């Protein structure tokens, strides 16, 4: 398979789950891969650098090219080191897949400041910092007359699209990633860079506790709709040269199903042509809501 032959891809959080599946899929498609993983537990504690190296060993054993990187992607210098690893090891960078993250789930009424900060940091800043250093490289390449054909694939979730009870910090960070991706797509286009986002549904460490029944593996001969490997084909394609005209879009991916998510769009409106009086809005707002599409329920809401 040569869809990504000659390309160099960074995948963050690639020691397990979705990131590991993406790294292996890029390698199988011919890309050289920087396998990044800080190696933390599900709550972001106890770093262990062995996870990334295990995936590298698997790729190399299969005849591919890969190097490990254990940087904290939400650390400014760590993100710079990550991009530098790709350039030092392989001489270029073509694809950045932002995937790393962890959870600190709690209802908002009891969520601590530290739990909020930690989750927003790893997901939102952990997307921005690698993107910022990657685009600095691509911008320099473009200005030097070597226009990139580069890709960024960011990872949001259904929680970012629709919300999830008990995951206010995670939902907010993942929603932020969606808008960050749209802005980046508009700003990076001049440098030959596309930016898209995915909202995957798959069985990983982060989902198995929340959706235990849904995420259970099927029988031996049945299609495993929740396998992380189902998400990776779209990620690899978005990272390829074939996807040059796709940017600023969001895709839900679950099993064999790919859905384009339209995002926030203006619905019904009423323009008085002057300032409203609050007393008038008791009929106006219900009328607008009656003409609008119903809101999708928040995950976990009764």
Instruction: Phi first, then psi: give them for residue 52, nearest 5 degrees.
Output: -65, -40
Q: Tell me, what's the pLDDT at 44?
A: 45
Of 38, 170, 191, 299, the active-site residue reads: 170
Three-class DSSP category at 11: strand
Question: How confident is the model over 4-14, as pLDDT tens digits?
Answer: 999 999 999 99
Beta bridge partners of residue 102, listed in sequence order: none
Domains detected in the chain: 8-261 (3.40.50.720)
Residue from 82, 86, 67 nearest 127 by CA? 82
- Region 176-198 average pLDDT: 98
Report pLDDT digits (tens) over 148-184. 999 999 999 999 999 999 999 999 999 999 999 999 9
Packing angle between helix 17-28 and helix 50-61, nearest 10 degrees?
30
Answer whether residue 42 shows pLDDT above 90: no
**Closest to 127 (Cα-Cα) out of 98, 97, 160:** 98
Quote the percentage of the chain above a pLDDT of 90: 85
Tens-digit pLDDT profile for residues 82-102? 999 999 999 999 999 999 999
What's the pTM? Answer: 0.91
**Residue 174 annotated among the catalytic residues of the structure:** yes
At residue 292, the pLDDT reads: 96
Strand partners for 152:
96, 195
Residue 202 has what pLDDT?
Answer: 85
Q: How distant is the alpha carbon of residue 81 from its chain centre?
A: 20
Choose among 235, 214, 218: nearest CA to 96.
235
Identify whether 143 is a catalytic site residue: no
Instruction: Compute the residue count for the chain.
Output: 302
**215-263 residue pLDDT tens:** 455 566 688 998 999 999 999 999 999 999 999 999 999 999 999 998 8
The percent of residues in the chain predicted with pLDDT above 70, rounded, is 91
Query: Which residue among the candidates 125, 171, 174, 240 is catalytic per the annotation?
Result: 174
Check if 164 is active-site: no
């Amino acid at each position: 398979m040569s869809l990504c032959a000659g390309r160099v891809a960074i995948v963050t959080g690639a020691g397990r789950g979705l990131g590991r599946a993406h790294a292996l899929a890029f390698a199988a498609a011919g890309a050289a891969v920087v396998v990044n993983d800080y190696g933390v537990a599900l709550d972001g504690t106890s770093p262990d650098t062995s996870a990334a190296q295990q995936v590298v060993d698997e790729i190399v054993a299969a005849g591919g090219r890969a190097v490990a990187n254990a940087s904290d992607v939400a650390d400014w210098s760590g993100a710079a080191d990550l991009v530098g690893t790709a350039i030092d090891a392989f001489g270029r960078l073509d694809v950045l897949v932002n995937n790393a993250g962890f959870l600190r789930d709690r209802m908002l009424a009891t969520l601590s400041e530290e739990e909020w900060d930690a989750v927003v940091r790893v997901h939102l800043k952990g997307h921005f910092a690698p993107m910022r250093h990657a685009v600095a490289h691509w911008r320099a390449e473009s200005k030097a007359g070597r226009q990139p054909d580069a890709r960024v694939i960011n990872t949001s979730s259904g929680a970012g699209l629709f919300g999830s009870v008990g995951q206010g910090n995670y939902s907010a960070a993942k929603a932020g990633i969606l808008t960050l991706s749209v802005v980046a797509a508009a700003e990076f286009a001049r440098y030959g860079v596309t930016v898209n986002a995915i909202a995957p549904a798959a069985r990983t460490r982060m989902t198995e506790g929340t959706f235990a029944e849904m995420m259970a593996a099927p029988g031996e001969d049945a299609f495993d709709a929740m396998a992380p490997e189902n998400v990776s084909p779209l990620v690899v394609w978005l990272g390829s040269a074939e996807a040059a005209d796709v940017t600023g879009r969001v895709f839900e991916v679950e099993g064999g199903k790919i859905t384009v998510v339209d995002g926030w769009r203006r619905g019904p409106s009423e323009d008085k042509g002057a300032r409203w009086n609050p007393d008038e809005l008791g009929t106006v707002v219900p009328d607008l809501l009656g003409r609008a599409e119903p809101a999708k329920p928040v995950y976990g809401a009764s």
